[in-house]
Structure formats: structure tokens, C-alpha cells
Amino acid sequence: MTSEPDFARSLAHQAGEIMRRYFRLGVTSRSKGDGTPVTAADEAINEHVMGQVKTHFPDDAVIGEEGSSPVGSSNRVWVCDPIDGTLPFTLGVPTSLFSLDPGPLGEPGGGFRRYGHSKDHRPDLPQVVIGLAVTKEGIQVRVWCWPGNTADTAVLPEVRDGMREAKLGRVVTVVDRGFSSDANLDYLRRGGGGWIAGEWMRERAGDAAQALSRQGRFTVVNDHLHVKEAKIASTPGIRWVICLNTAEAAKDKATRDEALARLGEELGRIAAARAKATAAKKTATSAKARARADAELAGHTRAECALRDHVTLGRWLRQTPTGRLAIDRAKVGWTASTCCPPPTRTCHPPRLPWATRTSSKPNAGSGT
């Protein structure tokens, strides 16, 4: 019996051949009841998938965008999108995909569907991670698919190795902070070629902090972008480029000042209310009055916890030895000092605080 992975790979190639045949001929679309476009290629691929699944896995069902088969005795289903990207397909832009995902009926986790970090802010839905490599004109070079809970840091070696098949010339790999782990950068360094890696600079630690501490004058690129280069002993052969967006720095300062004012007012309100409840408890003459004061004190503690756990306000707080919350002036001072506009300072904006590490080793071969 054919294994599911082998069957899925074979079926994907067959769907690709159907897609290429219609793509070469050119197709027109019509609108379905929900207003989305559909072509003869969508319907042909969907029908082919249903037929192949019925032949090789007769007890499984198919849920396709253009047609489905009844649920079988296995309670397993093949979810199919014949052409993911029908509109560019009809326009002659080769960026469409065939999507197929087998798994238990109603249970994400089979195939590539997984619950993971959703950039669409929909953690309640399973997802599939898709990677595209395209030219600057938008022409597709390579496609990758991963389970929906795949971390960014895990895919870089596979992508870099896959690009060797494209037989490109010199390649400079550019990655953001989600990919710039030491292991990934070591891998890129061993493979030859150059790389540029973004670094998150909000926390004062490690090599990034050393790069920030280097004195030097910024070069003004334009009205809002200032840059300077730094080299540190712990990362030989690597250049650090500190970038300052003065417009964002001014905007972030206003946002930070507003947040600190809100924090100060809320902490002051909680402290005053707690002092009042504490005094009321001391002077209470009945058990009911003391219980009421205890309930008020518990409410103020919950309010402090909510502040501490707040997504944007909590980062400016610290807990004192007595258990109360206070504004972390040391952290505020460091952030302010690294965000100030003067170009002679080592600084960065907190919302776009990137130090870019670059490596410019000569390329070892045309395949990397």
C-alpha cells in the first residue's frame, strides 16, 4: 500500500502538471457564489484529487474548495485547495500553489496543519507556513511548506540549501531577528557568501549592548536615517551598523512619556486607595467592616498584577522588596539615552531598534 507521504508528493506533482498545462494555455475565471474566482484548472485538479484518493485510500474523504467526497469509515480527510492563488494564476503570474493536507477529521495536527504563532492574530485556527523565493520581478524560484507551528529559526538551513538548486551567482542572505540565532549565522558563515542579520536592541545585553556602547559619529543618510559602523572584539570579522530613525525616536519618546504618565497616575491611585483601605481596616469595629477592607485590599493587589502583566506598560515596572510596584527608572533612563536624536550618541529607537550585523566573506562558489 502506498504511504501517505509518498502519495501526497506524487499527487502534488500530478496537480502541478495539470496547473502548468492550463497555465500555458491561458485560462479565464468566473465568480462563484461567494464572489471568489474559479477556473477550469481549479475544477480539474480538485476532481483529480478526489479520484486519486478514492483509488488509493477508499475509506478517506476529500474536502476540496471546488468539491468534496463523503466522509468514509476511516474518519480521515484530505483537505485540498487546488490552486491557492487563483487570481494571479489567471493573470499569468506564476506564484500560485497546490495545497494538500491529510489528517483526522476535525482535528488539526495531521499533515501540516498546526496551531502556532499567528501573524494574523488568529491563534484559534490551525495554519500552514509557506515560504516563497521570488526574483525582484516577482517570478517564483522556489516554494517551501512547513507545519504551522514551525519556528522561524528552524527553516533557514533548509531554505539556504534549497536555493543551491537555483544556481544563482553571489548570494547575500538577509534575515531579521527571528532568524538571527548564533546557530543560523554560523551555518551561513560556513556556507560562504555574505549575510546581513537584524538584531533586536531593546534589551541591554550581549554583543548588541557592546555595539551600542561604541562611541562614534553618525553618518546622515537622509533627514530621518542616521547610521554608524562599530566593530567589537567578541565578533571578529563582523561589522555592526547602528541605525537611528530620528522621526521614530521622537514619536517613541512621546509614546513613552504618555505611558509613564499613565503608570504614575495609576500607581498613585492604587497607593492612595490601599492606604485608605488599610486605615479603614485598623479602625474597623466589626468583622463585616474588616472583611470589606480586606476585599478592597485584594482588589488593589489584583490591579497591580494587571499593570505588571500589561503588554506595553508592564515593561516599565519593577517590584520593590515590599512587593509593591514602582516605575523602573533605570530602565527608562537607559532607553531614553539610547533613543535621543543627537547623532554623536550611540542610540537607537525602541520600536525600530536594529543593529545590523553584516558578514562579507568572499563567496566560495556559485551555488551558495
Buried-exposed string 290-322: b where 16+ CB fall within 10 A, e elsewhere: eeebeebbeebeebbeebeebeebeebbeeeee
At residue 46, φ and ψ (nearest 5 deg) are -60, -45
pLDDT digits (tens, 9 = 90+) for 21-58: 998 888 888 888 777 888 999 999 999 999 999 999 99
- The reported pTM is 0.50
Q: Report how far residue 160's alpha carbon sits from residue 185's, in angstroms, rounded to the nearest whole number.
A: 12
pLDDT for the residue numbered 337: 56
Checking if the pLDDT of 340 tops 80, the result is no
Is the domain spanning 4-121 CATH 3.40.50.2300? The answer is no
pLDDT for the residue numbered 193: 66
- Which residue do the cell numbers 504563532 mark? 117
Contact residues for 224 (Cβ-Cβ < 8 A; gap 6+): 245, 246, 247, 248
Contact residues for 74 (Cβ-Cβ < 8 A; gap 6+): 57, 59, 60
pLDDT for the residue numbered 52: 93
The answer to whether residues 144 and 162 touch, using CB atoms and an 8 Å cutoff, is yes
Amino acid at 228: K
pLDDT digits (tens, 9 = 90+) for 141-165: 777 888 888 877 778 788 877 777 7
Locate the domains of the chain by residue range.
4-121, 257-324
The answer to whether residues 245 and 262 touch, using CB atoms and an 8 Å cutoff, is no
pLDDT digits (tens, 9 = 90+) for 252-305: 888 888 888 988 898 888 888 888 888 888 888 888 888 888 888 887 788 888
Q: Report how far residue 26's alpha carbon sits from residue 23's, in angstroms, rounded to the nearest whole number.
A: 5
Q: Report how far residue 240's alpha carbon sits from residue 358's, in angstroms, rounded to the nearest whole number.
A: 6
Q: Report how far residue 219's alpha carbon sits from residue 224's, in angstroms, rounded to the nearest whole number.
A: 11
